[in-house]
Structures are given as structure tokens and as C-alpha cells.
A and B are shown apart, each in its own frame.
Chain A
Amino acid sequence: MALKINHNLVNEEIAKTLVDICPFKAIEYHDNKLSINAGCKNCKICVKKGPAGVIELVKEEIKTINKNEWKNIVIYADIEENKVHPVTYELIGKAKELAQVINHQVHVLAIGHNLTQTVDKILHYGVDKVFIYDHEKLEHFDVERYTNIFEDFINKNKPSSILFGATNIGRSLAPRVAARFKTGLTADCTALEMKENTDLVQIRPAFGGNIMAQIINPNHRPQFCTARYKVFNAPEKTINPTGEIINCPIEDKWLKTNVEILEIINKKKEEDISESEIIIAIGRGVKSKEDFDLVFELAELLNASIGCTRPVAEAGLLNNKHQIGLSGKTVKPKLIITLGVSGAIQFTSGMKDAECIIAVNNDPAAQIFDIAHFAVFGDIYEIVPELIKIIKEGKSNV
């Protein structure tokens, strides 16, 4: 569909109306000529709301494809040093739902080295097939080599949809492969649905989450998307997996690369709390430095970083690089648990945009509860040890 201007209907007044109506300033009127510039986002508001008939939609011929030739949903197994990123299992869970709608199978593509055990784990999540490309030169992620492997896989198997975790690897690999097949890619999806015609409905946030967009890829296959970690649910594990393992041959020419890895270092826990995904913030309710051990233990269990209020930093209990608020760091974690924080504006202005705020304070009138999503009216000295206890119990049961 393209926009066409019927220039014979344009006069100055109509031109002005149209220029004003475009939210993207994409309609221009110069030297008595109305034109649409590159800012056009095809929102069609000029067609719907503009003077009738001046700008029209012209249908264009679209190359269609035979969607029946493309079958099954593939999950790219996000593997680093033979550890499967949990987003992989979550995607398997979602893919099983999606596949049911169109009666497709769920397949997994695993690329790496010495994958036997790793793949065995994946099989327990109940997939139909796991395709393995195993080679010592594939031990670490290499975008060129992995893209070549992916190309071979797609050419041989013609999958309908391919889902990646929106991890740093997924966000590097998915666009490369999608571009190689000149097909669409939707990044960072937070919801997925399947149409009966096998079109994958992909919903993703834009503008920092202020807007959601629903996107389809109707005339190209495969359909590519990356999806966020922790939005879908992993399926129950099966005890007797029935999935099939398919070892795929590798050609040397696929293994050419321009990247030479020098060193891989384990990341230290985020030093900079403004980058942390989970933060536990200590307020004045935590009375002495000795009590911090309790908080540190909880932080360890949740893999959280430690933040604090200004009074805590000023009392020298924690270094001021942990300080959150107006005169400290601004943080936007996925989760912040505040312990004994009263919630002075000095503090809250540095963390109120956190996605989930859990506040624990024994004063129900504390200001922190005004912005908390979960307000725990209780004594941190009772709740934190209890929480640590049951988290540990839970972990030892697994």
C-alpha cells in the first residue's frame, strides 16, 4: 500500500490542513507543490482525517509466498560455556502453545561444542527435535560462524518461525541471520500469539515502554523474533523425553571468522548500581553495620546489588557509590526491595521508576509505601531472616 497525492485537488488551504494533520511533519508544501518526505511512517492519518480524496491509498502488488512450505517453530538454544540460558526454556514453553494452534512441531537448534549433556537437559523440556551443530570452533559464540551454521539449518529445514532470547547473543545473531534471509525481525517481544495462517503476532514495547506495537511478518519466511527473558513460563520437565536428536554435519568453510577471542572473564557483580537489575536498598531502619550481614545474605540469594539512602552513606555505613537518590545515583532496576527506608523524596526521586518496588517498613505511614507496588508492613528484623530461611529451603529442594 502506498500513498498517492492527487495534485489536481490541492490548493493552499487544503495543503495547509494536510501539513498540520501529519504527526510526523512528513507532509511539505513548497512552491505550490505538496509532497511527502522521508519522515512518513505510513500512519495513513492524512488519508483518514485529511480532506477527502486528496491523499489516497494505492494498492500495490505484493509478492506472496507459499506458507505451507515453511513448517515448525524453532528455538535457538542460548548456550554459553555449555550453560543454557533459562530464556531458552521459557521460549520452549511459549513455542509449544504457539505450535498447537497450527499443528507444528517445536524444534531446538543448539550450536556449540561437547553438547551432549546440555542437549539432554533441553530434551527434558519436551521438544520434538534438537538439531546439533557441534564443533570445537563453535565452543564460544562467534557471530560469523553461527550465522553460517544457521543459514545451513534454515536452508535444510525451512522453519516457519524462529525465536531467540533477547540476550546479548540473541540480539547479535538474530539480526544477522534475518538479514541474510532478507526477512523480518521483531526485537524484544513481550507477548507472542499465533494466527491460523502461521503468521506470528509479535508484540513489543517501544519508546522505553510507553508504547506497545503489534507486528506481523506476513509475506516472508522464516519469521524472526527475539523475546525478553522472564516474560514467558518454562514448561514442566518430562521424565521420559521423546524428542529426537539430529547431529548435523559441518563444513569447514562455515568456520571462517574475523574475530579472535583473547580472554573471557567472569563478570563481577555490578559495581555500578545504576546498571543493576535487582537492588536491595538499606535505609535507617537497618540499625548497625553488623545487621548488614543479614541484608548481604539476602542480596547474595537474590543476586542483588546493595543500595542505600543518604543518611546511611553519610553515617559512613556504606560507601557513597551505593547511595541512591537526588544526591546519589538514579536507578531503574527490575526490582528494588527497600528495607527500613522511610521514603524521603531525596531517596525516592532516584528509584521511583523501578519496575517493581517492594518496601518493608514497620511504620505503615512511611512515605515509601506511597510508591511501593508491594507494601510489607513488618519488622525487617523478623521478615528478612524468615525470607532467607524459606528461600534457602526452596533452593535445597530443587
Chain B
Amino acid sequence: MNIIVCIKQVPGTSNVKVDPITGVLIRDGVQAKMNPYDLYALETSLQLKEKTNGKVTVISMGPPAALSILKEAIYMGADEGILISDRKFGGADVLATAYTISQAINTIDDVDLILTGKQTTDGDTGQVGPETAEFLNLPHFGYVTNVEVKENKIEFISNLETKIMKANITLPCLLCIDSDINTPRLPSYKRKVKFGNCEKQIKIMSFNDMEDQDETKYGLKGSATQVEKIFQPEKTTDRLVLQGTKEQMAKDLLNVLKERKFI
């Protein structure tokens, strides 16, 4: 089984601030790491690989520094990696990102299954997976908590709002894996020694490698949305004291619950 796992490099912490003068994110001294949600997808793929004698290819779009998370994935057990990296891809929104990733996946033969995490910790959208599936014309399902391979299809469990759904989906398909469904394995020192810089395992794809050579579909040009501004939310740390008779306090409490839509 040929599995592709989409991963992203994100800042080491979500605790970032906005420069009040320039309005730009300050990420100084924040180390980058693999998006934690992707680890669950990667672990799922590695378990499937063990069961089906398959192959796992990790794919990431980002700057050259994102090579490090592809290496990390290989140390965890992935077989190959692809870094989609080109200045022309910079500034991409969900639409352009999904299109670029779908173009890259199109160059890979015999893909059976594509896995993504449920969202990233920086953008937090969770929408690149489904859009990628659309561009690849593949069925997809989200919030998947369990995956079992059957012949030419996958039996999965998905965590819907109030229900749990068990269903079959035909291969090839894309599944967005829910968080906390497994404990991702740790990167192996032995594999690090064996693969080192992973020059043989990782290849870099640029704009020229894509089938669609229309520049306006990539990066900033291919993005529909524009960020007008970013700002830091105001934190309300005020404490409200409720006291009085029990009836009064209970009434006030009910109002709080209603106001906050808990009732």
C-alpha cells in the first residue's frame, strides 16, 4: 500500500505575539517543529505500513528549513520525503496551498491513500486536506479515529459532532486523522545513523516539476484570500464576583451560563 502523509513545519510554540508597530508576527527564537497533529497521521500511516507491507512518503510544502521535519519523519519510519519548495509558492492561502500539494501528489504514481492531520497549530484551519482531495478528485473523510485496510477499500471510524460513523471508503482516498487517537512513536537514533541527511530519500520539487505551469495558480497569485491585518486579541482577565442570597447567586449564575450560550 502506497501511503502519502502531508506534514507541515510550524513554530515550536503557539505563544507568538504581534509587533504592535509593524503588525507582523514575532517568531524570534521560536524553534520550528513538525505540526503536532500531523504526528497522529504519520503514526497511523506507519502502523498501516507495518500491517500491509506498504510504503510511506511524507510530503511537505514550505521553505528549505522544512527539510528537517521530513528527515524527522524518516527517522520515525517513513520511507521517502518530498519537499515542495519554491519562491513562487510563497504567500499561499488554503486554496493555493491545496492546489500546489495536489499538483505534487499528481506526479507520484499509484497512490492508494493520503493522510493529513486534522489541522495545524499555526493556521488552525483544517481545510487544506479536503481541498487537496477535491483537486485530486478523490473522496475524503475527516475526523477519522480508526483505519482498517480491506481489499481496495478502507473501513474507518469518524468522529462526527454527536455521532460516530463507521463506513467504507474506496481507494484511493484522503483521510484527515483526528488528534490523540494514538501515541506517535519517537524518532529513532538507529534510523538517524542509517539515513543521515536523507539525501537519497528526500527530493525537492519546485515549480518547474509541476504539471500545471500556470504561475497564477500558485503562491500569492493563486490565493483568493488576503489577510488585511493581524492583531492580538484582548484578554479579559477581569474577575466577576457573584454574591448575595442563594436565589440571587443562582440567578446570576444562570444568566452567565445563558449569556455564554452554555444553556
Q: Which residues of A contact B (CB under 8 A)?
A: 1-2, 23-26, 35-43, 45, 48-49, 60, 80, 85, 141, 143-144, 147, 167-169, 171-172, 174-176, 178-180, 182-188, 201, 204-220, 230, 257-267, 274-275, 278, 302, 334-335, 356, 358, 369, 372-379, 382-383, 386-387, 389-391, 394
Contacts and interface: CB of A to CB of B under 8 A. Distances in A.
Contacts of A37: 63-64, 85, 87, 90
Contact of B168 (A219, A262, A266): A262
B15 A210 contact: yes
B8 to A, nearest CB: 12
B24 A215 contact: no
A215 B121 contact: no
B253 A26 contact: no
Interface string B60-72: 0111110000000
A265 B164 contact: yes
Contacts of A182: 95, 224
Contacts of B85: 37-38
14 contacts: A26-B63, A38-B87, A38-B90, A39-B62, A45-B24, A171-B126, A201-B228, A211-B25, A259-B141, A263-B167, A265-B166, A266-B163, A387-B254, A390-B254
Interface in B1-30: 11, 14-18, 22, 24-28
Given A211-B231, A376-B253, 5 more contacts: A2-B221, A41-B90, A143-B141, A175-B94, A210-B14
B152 to A, nearest CB: 11
Given A41-B91, A258-B139, A175 B134 contact: yes
B241 A377 contact: yes
B122 interface: yes
A265 B186 CA distance: 34
Nearest to B225: A184
B69 to A, nearest CB: 13
A267 B166 CA distance: 12
What is the interface of chain A mostly: helix, strand, loop, or mixed? mixed
Nearest to A26: B63
Interface residues of B, number: 97
Contacts of A171: 126-127, 130, 142
B230 A212 contact: yes
Nearest to B83: A38
A168 B157 CA distance: 14
Given A39-B62, A49-B22, A373-B239, A391 B263 contact: yes
A171 B140 CA distance: 12
Interface stretch (B39-47, B48-56, B187-195, B242-250): B242-250
A278 B94 contact: no
A334 B18 CA distance: 25
Contacts of B233: 205, 209-212
A259 B87 contact: no
Most chain B CB within 10 A, of A49, A183, A208, is at: A208
B126 A176 contact: no
Nearest to B233: A212
Contacts of B125: 187-188
B155 interface: yes
A211 B234 CA distance: 10
A188 B263 CA distance: 22
Contact of B262 (A35, A206, A278): A278
A267 B164 contact: yes
B80 interface: no
